[in-house]
Structure 1
Amino acid sequence: MPRKKPYSGKQKKLQLQEKRKRKQSGENDSDEGSNHEENDKVASSSKVEEDVSQAQPLYQQPIQSTKSLDTNRYRLQFLQESNAKLKKKRELGRQILHHVSELELEVCEDDSEPYIDIAKRPPWHYNCSTAELQKTETKYFQEYVEKIFAEHDINKLSYFELNLETWRQLWRVLEMSDIVLIIVDIRYPMLHFSPALYNHVVNDLGKHAILVLNKVDMVPPELVIAWKEHFLLKYPKLHIACFTSYPKEAITNIVPGKARKKRNRGGRFAINMGARELLEICESIVQKKVDLSSWRHKIESENEASGFNEVINEIHEDTIECPSSEKYKNGMLTIGCTGSTIRYLSDPHTKTLLYPGLVFPSKCDKALQVLAGIYPISQVREAFSAVRYLCERINVVNILHLQHPDPPSKEWSPYDICEAFAIKRGMITAKAGRPDIHRSANLILRMGLDGRLCLALRPSGFTQNRDI
């Protein structure tokens, strides 16, 4: 007998998926010709109608069932960089680092250049069929993306969401919400905050927007105050609340030149800071039209405990209600969240709507988007640009106590830092036995994202007015 060929788990998984599809369509395993036809049909249906050329879908999942919702419905889609551009960036990774001054940490804004507008839901009416509505929205979104690429240099554009399904969920959430929470990371608030979204919510829709400055324990108190004043000055209709799940860490200042310990994300959470402030803002908005006493009671009771179980309603299009112009329908305050969710929103008189994270178009540095977690680190194909951005603004070599892999040299490049960190951590490739620089770079970026290597941007004029 001939020797059996190796059969991988991946091949077995694909075989089971094909068998499941044949079973659901009522076909036999022997109908090989019709099986190929069915596979082509599934592949074509899973392709997003608004797919832009060179768009890279992230977190692609295998389709489990043709009858259930598509598991890839809300997958991220960003414009993919060419291989030639990635090769050039990798070569730049061996060039020497040049540390920048503190002024480079300030966000310099050009008021003469208008912000890039967001995609807004085209006009519609209740008599419109689902097919007509989807066709209109698809056509509008294609024109919106084409307009952005035509008006702006594609090399200067940031990563932004190209999945229409994600934008659709945003449109419906904004229509249903009484209050929209714009949750941003205090270290990179201008990356997460969209002036176009603020203008649309406050001016076009006539609704209230609350900016939640999250993770305030990661930066000095004076920086939190500076960002709060910055947003109040530029966006006067914006309500602002500061939030953190680790208030004890917010009391202590950051020690320069030392890596922060990783925050314990498991187990019970510490009593948070900011829930009461958020509640008071909501109370001032609703003006006693909604009873939020149970929410207040919950916050006060949680001051005596360190954790709780939270229930949040995630909205899908097939279960979404028709938007209503009536505020506080059925005596309930409806809150829509953009960005990561926060705690203490679950309440009998509040309804929290979530949708997948959405990246708005802007002109911020793509390397900074990686550090801020806007673009998934696990999907980064070239990490040296982001490592350079981080290491030129904080002294990673001293913080991590690295030794140069080439001792006579005293100058560092992003490649050298990744190699030195790989040697220190014992990260070695399996085949060649060399320092695993890619794994090392990935870990450095994750330490930056977690705040262990804490980089925080500052509003314009912060350095000059810091001691005032």
Structure 2
Amino acid sequence: MPRKKPYSGKQKKLQLQEKRKRKQNSENDSDEEGSNLEENDRVPSSSKVEEDESPTQSLQQKSVQSTKSLDPNRYRLEFLQESNTKLKKRRELGRQVLHPVSELELEVCDDDSEPYIDIAKRPPWHYNCSTAELQKTETRYFQEYVEKIFAEHDINELSYFELNLETWRQLWRVLEMSDIILIIVDIRYPMLHFSPALYNHVINDLGKHAILILNKVDMVPPELVIAWKEHFLLKYPKLHIACFTSYPKEAITNIVPGKARKKRNRGGRIAINMGARELLEICESIVQKKVDLSSWRHKIESENEASGLDEVINESHEDTIEPPSPEKYKNGMLTIGCTGYPNVGKSSLLNGLKGVKVVSVSKTPGHTKHFQTIFITPTVKLCDCPGLVFPSKCDKALQVLAGIYPISQVREAFSAIRYLGERINIVNILHLQHPDPPSKEWSPYDICEAFAIKRGMITAKAGRPDIHRSANLILRMGLDGRLCLALRPPGFTQNRDIWKEHQETKGLIEKLSKYRPSIEESSDGSDGEFDSDKDENENETSSDEENVKMTTKNPFALLCDDD
């Protein structure tokens, strides 16, 4: 009997795919249905659409797939994938020397002359429409919306934005059922996470109130928080603003340049947050006693008493706000919708307001798949909307650093590391040594290679430094805030001393000090900063001690000769 020819797993996979295609084509009654199934088989399994392929064509294929029940990819993130030629050019640029820029480059300049890109709005509908008719109308509208965007704007200038209709439908539902809309942004990248089109739609089209939540205020200096707050109030006068953080005890008032931040402790029970009181006061001024919010007030007071905070909640003050429409606050219930980009902390905010973990939290963008309804009190209801990336023209590298685009799916990380390395001295913070000692010039590729060598990241087959893995870790450190990068409003660098002496800045520092009364008694003695080498060495020494204890417990280890 002749010996069988070796058969690889890749060939076996192709054989199964062809067999599956033949089986599907044989089950079709008409050639037209068979051709549709062949097109569906060619849709990639990843959450991206190739640039060479028409986005509307992919949307049509996805609408056919969505007819299946229990589609596991229904709520996945879907972006436009860049071509391989562009990625190759950007990888080559990753070997060029990076040049540090001044602090003025951290300031975000607003271009009011260029109009913003509008968001997708739900088409008109009525309760007499059937489900099939409504889905068909929304699908047709969304295809026309995407076609219009790619026709009016250059594809090279557009940033990543959501192409999944199901995610947009979740936003439409939340906007319709909510009385007050929370627009949540990360204080490190507020202008990147704030959509003027969403603000205009909520205020002008829907006639509802919008509250901007500056989240994660513990990760930047207090003067920068107040500067951003005043900037938004000046540019968007109908916007209410509240500062929030789920980890007020980890707030740092003085950030030392050249130091890396501590990794945020996310374990354990939900700690007391800062910002729920301010949000309650804003809601009371908007509702104007149309809804009884006393249960929410008593909940916050009880949490403050349990945590040892003696701060008293201010009574609702009078404000020149138009009375709400009769359709709002049905059955004496206040519904608050949480909207925003991925990874801005929407789920963490819900857990903080509730006081217990009711929504799962993850660093991966798109973790929340569909909107969730949570009752804070019997009269206050929160709606958590999945993170949605609105169309814009911001830098794609900045989107990766802000956590909008999943880091695990980044195919070329040198552009984002270049943007980070030009504004932060990564070499000194991570204490890297150049892989080519005679050279003193650093490129993004050199930074990734040096970090891979330092952390012992070696490829399995070739034994070379794992550049992709080290670049992934650097980006995650920037996302966690351990490499602190924060954008600034226009004029902040020049007037920083003025913002430090601002009255609201002092008030914010006083609030944070109540949550963290003894900053000097921190274990590391560095006001929340830490040396990455010191932290790594402590981990290594602790692991070595454990190994020594384990070997000494083994009686046969004493027979080994150390020489």
TM-score between the two structures when normalised by the length of structure 2: 0.70
Residue range with higher mean Cα deviation, 292-301 or 257-266: 292-301
Which structure: larger Rg? 2
Note the alpha carbon deviations across 1:107-130, whole angstroms, 9 max, x for none: 011111111111111122222222
Q: Equivalent of 1:453, from 474, 483, 502?
A: 483
Deviation at 1:289, TM superposition (A): 1.1
Does the 8 Å CA contact 2:47/2:79 hold for their aligned counterparts? Answer: no
Does the 8 Å CA contact 2:181/2:339 hold for their aligned counterparts? Answer: yes
Q: Tell me how far apart the structure 2 counterparts of residues 314 and 163 of structure 1 sit (CA, whole Å).
A: 43
Structure 1: stretches of 5+ with no match in the other structure? 340-344
- Cα separation, partners in 2 of 1:6 and 1:275, compared to 1, 3 Å: farther
Residue range with higher mean Cα deviation, 140-149 or 59-68: 59-68
Q: Tell me how far apart the structure 2 counterparts of residues 273 and 74 of structure 1 sit (CA, whole Å).
A: 32
Note the alpha carbon deviations across 1:118-157, whole angstroms, 9 max, x for none: 1111122222222222222111111111111111111111
Deviation at 1:37, TM superposition (A): 10
Does the 8 Å CA contact 2:304/2:310 hold for their aligned counterparts? Answer: no
Does the 8 Å CA contact 1:178/1:327 hold for their aligned counterparts? Answer: yes
Note the alpha carbon deviations across 1:250-305, whole angstroms, 9 max, x for none: 25322211111101111123321101111111111111111111212222222244
Note the alpha carbon deviations across 1:87-122, whole angstroms, 9 max, x for none: 000000000001111110000111111111111111
Aligned to 2:484, the other structure's residue is in SS state coil
- Cα separation, partners in 2 of 1:166 and 1:309, compared to 1, 3 Å: farther
Note the alpha carbon deviations across 1:150-177, whole angstroms, 9 max, x for none: 1111111110001111111111211111
Deviation at 1:323, TM superposition (A): 16
Does the 8 Å CA contact 1:383/1:442 hold for their aligned counterparts? Answer: yes
- Cα separation, partners in 2 of 1:323 and 1:36, compared to 1, 3 Å: farther
- Cα separation, partners in 2 of 1:368 and 1:310, compared to 1, 3 Å: farther
Does the 8 Å CA contact 1:315/1:353 hold for their aligned counterparts? Answer: no
- Cα separation, partners in 2 of 1:138 and 1:424, compared to 1, 3 Å: same
Deviation at 1:68, TM superposition (A): 5.0
Structure 2: stretches of 5+ with no match in the other structure? 341-374, 498-563
TM-score between the two structures when normalised by the length of structure 1: 0.83
Deviation at 1:246, TM superposition (A): 1.4
Note the alpha carbon deviations across 1:11-61, whole angstroms, 9 max, x for none: 999999999999999999999999999997999999999997259999999
Question: RMSD value over aligned CA atoms?
Answer: 7.2
Q: Tell me how far apart the structure 2 counterparts of residues 155 and 277 of structure 1 sit (CA, whole Å).
A: 41
- Cα separation, partners in 2 of 1:140 and 1:34, compared to 1, 3 Å: closer
Does the 8 Å CA contact 2:24/2:37 hold for their aligned counterparts? Answer: no
The reply on whether 1:21 has 2:21 as its aligned counterpart is yes
Deviating above 4 A after TM superposition, structure 1's stretches of 4 or more consecutive aligned residues are 1-52, 54-68, 304-325
- Cα separation, partners in 2 of 1:284 and 1:44, compared to 1, 3 Å: same
Residue range with higher mean Cα deviation, 388-397 or 287-296: 287-296
Does the 8 Å CA contact 1:377/1:442 hold for their aligned counterparts? Answer: yes
Aligned to 2:50, the other structure's residue is in SS state coil
Does the 8 Å CA contact 1:194/1:360 hold for their aligned counterparts? Answer: yes
Deviation at 1:351, TM superposition (A): 1.6
Deviation at 1:247, TM superposition (A): 1.1
Does the 8 Å CA contact 1:182/1:338 hold for their aligned counterparts? Answer: yes
Does the 8 Å CA contact 1:268/1:307 hold for their aligned counterparts? Answer: no
- Cα separation, partners in 2 of 1:428 and 1:306, compared to 1, 3 Å: farther
Q: Tell me how far apart the structure 1 counterparts of residues 295 and 455 of structure 2 sit (CA, whole Å).
A: 50
The reply on whether 1:57 has 2:87 as its aligned counterpart is no
Aligned to 2:423, the other structure's residue is in SS state coil
Does the 8 Å CA contact 1:169/1:355 hold for their aligned counterparts? Answer: yes
The percent identity for this pair of structures is 90
- Cα separation, partners in 2 of 1:176 and 1:5, compared to 1, 3 Å: farther
Deviation at 1:70, TM superposition (A): 2.0
Q: Tell me how far apart the structure 2 counterparts of residues 99 and 203 of structure 1 sit (CA, whole Å).
A: 43
Deviation at 1:226, TM superposition (A): 0.3
- Cα separation, partners in 2 of 1:291 and 1:314, compared to 1, 3 Å: closer
Structure 2 equivalent of residue 83 of structure 1: 84
Q: Tell me how far apart the structure 2 counterparts of residues 51 and 90 of structure 1 sit (CA, whole Å).
A: 20
Residue range with higher mean Cα deviation, 298-307 or 315-324: 315-324
- Cα separation, partners in 2 of 1:61 and 1:294, compared to 1, 3 Å: farther
Does the 8 Å CA contact 1:175/1:323 hold for their aligned counterparts? Answer: no
The reply on whether 1:166 has 2:167 as its aligned counterpart is yes
Note the alpha carbon deviations across 1:403-425, whole angstroms, 9 max, x for none: 00000000000000000000010
Q: Tell me how far apart the structure 2 counterparts of residues 143 and 64 of structure 1 sit (CA, whole Å).
A: 19
More helix by share: 2
Residue range with higher mean Cα deviation, 43-52 or 180-189: 43-52
Structure 1 equivalent of residue 450 of structure 2: 420
Deviation at 1:332, TM superposition (A): 0.6
Does the 8 Å CA contact 1:182/1:193 hold for their aligned counterparts? Answer: yes
Does the 8 Å CA contact 1:371/1:449 hold for their aligned counterparts? Answer: yes
Deviation at 1:346, TM superposition (A): 2.1
Note the alpha carbon deviations across 1:194-236, whole angstroms, 9 max, x for none: 0000000011100010100000011001100000000000101
